[in-house]
């Protein structure tokens, strides 16, 4: 997509601006986009990749992901799609229901006992039937004050919590 002056209207997910990503017009040729995406994913699968982290899938048509994931998982049910989507709970639920096997969560922002208890209660309710949360102890772009000021002990606490409170967890380094 282009602006009236001809420059590229880069992808945005406020407040972030992705000037290195060309926004695709999903309404122009959905079948072609699905086919090409599946082709590219299969290329990487042939090289042993079995997990794909999808950045901001909530900014693309849900039906696109439903078709892509459905086609891949029809022949390769062991391939996992991780939704990197910090968005509204309803959209996170929708992404899980259309095929994303794992999802980022609000764990990053839950630090106090009450916050964690309420959030885990939410995840173990109805959402447990379709959503597989992935608790990241830290992320490259979100560093809660607890981690900013807590030093190594704070990171250790978050890693232990993530590893014991969720079936899937992760940690970024560097």
**Residues 42-91: pLDDT tens digits?**
999 999 999 999 988 998 999 999 999 999 999 999 999 999 988 888 99
56: number of Cβ within 10 Å: 17
Q: What is the C-alpha to C-alpha distance for residues 28 and 34, in angstroms, rounded to an integer? A: 12
User: Is residue 18 a contact partner of residue 11, using CB atoms and an 8 Å limit?
Assistant: yes
Task: Tell me what pLDDT residue 10 has.
Answer: 76
Q: Where does the pLDDT of residue 41 fall: very low under 50, low under 70, confident under 90, or very high at 90 and above? A: very high
Rounded to a whole number of angstroms, the CA Rg of the chain reads 18
Q: Residues with catalytic annotation?
A: 55, 84
Tell me the average pLDDT across 22-30: 85
Q: What are the strands, taking DSSP E only, across the chain?
A: 11-13, 16-18, 51-55, 80-84, 102-103, 134-136, 168-170
Task: Tell me what pLDDT residue 9 has.
Answer: 78
Task: Tell me what pLDDT residue 142 has.
Answer: 81
Task: Tell me what pLDDT residue 77 has.
Answer: 98
Q: Where does the pLDDT of residue 174 fall: very low under 50, low under 70, confident under 90, or very high at 90 and above? A: very low
């Amino acid at each position: 997509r282009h602006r009236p002056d001809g420059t590229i209207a880069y992808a945005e997910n406020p407040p972030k601006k992705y000037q290195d990503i060309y926004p695709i017009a999903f309404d122009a040729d959905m079948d072609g986009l699905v086919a090409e995406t599946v082709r590219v994913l299969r290329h990487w699968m042939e090289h042993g990749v079995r997990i794909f982290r999808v950045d901001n899938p909530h900014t693309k048509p849900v039906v696109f992901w439903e078709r892509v994931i459905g086609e891949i998982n029809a022949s390769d049910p062991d391939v996992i799609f991780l939704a990197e989507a910090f968005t509204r709970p309803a959209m996170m639920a929708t992404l899980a229901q259309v095929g994303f096997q794992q999802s980022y969560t609000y764990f990053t922002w839950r630090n106090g006992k009450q916050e964690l208890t309420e959030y885990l209660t939410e995840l173990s309710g109805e959402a447990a039937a379709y959503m597989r949360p992935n608790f990241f102890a830290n992320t490259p772009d979100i560093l809660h004050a607890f981690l900013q000021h807590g030093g190594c002990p704070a990171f250790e606490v978050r890693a232990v919590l993530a590893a014991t409170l969720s079936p899937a967890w992760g940690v970024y380094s560097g």
